[in-house]
Chains A and B, each alone.
Chain A
Amino acid sequence: DQQVKQNSPSLSVQEGRISILNCDYTNSMFDYFLWYKKYPAEGPTFLISISSIKDKNEDGRFTVFLNKSAKHLSLHIVPSQPGDSAVYFCAASGGYALNFGKGTSLLVTP
């Protein structure tokens, strides 16, 4: 039973443009949400997070938006750079475990 869903397996964006990655969740008890980035042959690296009491969090080029009523969050990357090409995982915290989506593979082309 997938409680966190990333419905776009892949996304291609031109360098300099905005990348928008989406994530939906089903469990209303989740109270903290995170985005991780993963390069091949490396472990996931923490990118940005947001608490359920907020609706937006910014860190440089990365912004995460949370819509609790829709159980939806998104990650915006502006401007996108070729080095951002990686797999992005959305995760939701419930208890001690993180619940991950299947990931979205982002390709930023020059």
Chain B
Amino acid sequence: DAGVTQSPTHLIKTRGQQVTLRCSPKSGHDTVSWYQQALGQGPQFIFQYYEEEERQRGNFPDRFSGHQFPNYSSELNVNALLLGDSALYLCASSLTGANVLTFGAGSRLTVL
């Protein structure tokens, strides 16, 4: 049973560019959350999607946007990249109402 899969695993962008990260949730899960983990920090909540709607958002600017598709997969888009956006982006899935999240291995974004 595949867990949460994320792509790409690594990518390098330059300031001002845009990036799209993708996530497939664990089989049977219907809720997807995105987290940003900067170096030396814990994961920070970006937003959560359920039934193709953004259900809750953390303290991130509008440059960060997302989408959930009918098959529950999700994308995270970041526009106008800044050096400070360099981080590991983690996708997590769960069954709605569950407290325990299952995380993917993450997408490592480097902004030059």
- Chain A positions near chain B (C-beta within 8 angstroms): 4, 6, 32, 34, 36, 41-46, 49, 89, 91, 93, 95-103
Residues of A with C-beta under 8 A to B48: 96-97
Complex Cα distance A42/B55, Å? 27
Given A95-B56, A100-B42: A34 and B106 within 8 A (CB)? no
Query: Are A100 and B33 interface neighbours, CB within 8 A?
Result: no
Query: Are A100 and B43 interface neighbours, CB within 8 A?
Result: yes
Query: Are A96 and B55 interface neighbours, CB within 8 A?
Result: yes
Majority SS of interface residues in chain A?
strand
Complex Cα distance A98/B44, Å? 8
Query: Are B33 and A43 interface neighbours, CB within 8 A?
Result: no
Stretch at the interface among B14-22, B70-78, B97-105: B97-105
Identify which of A36, A41, A89, A95 contacts B105 (C-beta below 8 A): A41
Identify which of B4, B41, B56, B90 contacts A97 (C-beta below 8 A): B56
Residues of A with C-beta under 8 A to B41: 102
Query: Are B103 and A32 interface neighbours, CB within 8 A?
Result: no
Query: Are A4 and B42 interface neighbours, CB within 8 A?
Result: yes
- Least CB distance, A43 to chain B, in whole angstroms: 4
